[in-house]
Amino acid sequence: MKLNWFTRKGFIYWPASIVGWVILVLAAAYAVYTFIDIDSRSHSNSDTLINFVFNLLLIGLVYTIIAYFTESRPQIHRRDDE
């Protein structure tokens, strides 16, 4: 089964279906939730940003892995008469 949830534009994966958009919105919402949670427990701005950047990188990594395995790739046609 071929999943075409994302398309690749340069080095960014853009959603190509409703499922892709849902994954993008969930990733963004989780990033905002994580930021608010870290900010409520931290003592300074630098403490918030240092802890948030690591979590943002993890969220981006998971998003990229999902997008990589579900992207629409151009079909390579092979000639059978060779």
Angle at 77 between CA 75 and CA 82, to 5 degrees: 160
Q: Which pair of structure tokens corresponds to residue 24?
A: 């993008």
What are the sequence ranges of the domains in the chain?
A: 6-69
Residue 73 has a pLDDT of: 74
Q: What percent of the chain has pLDDT over 90?
A: 74
C-alpha of 29 from chain center: 12
Q: How far apart are the first and last CA of the chain?
A: 28
Residue 81 has a pLDDT of: 57
Mean pLDDT along residues 46-71 = 94
**Above 90 in pLDDT, residue 75?**
no
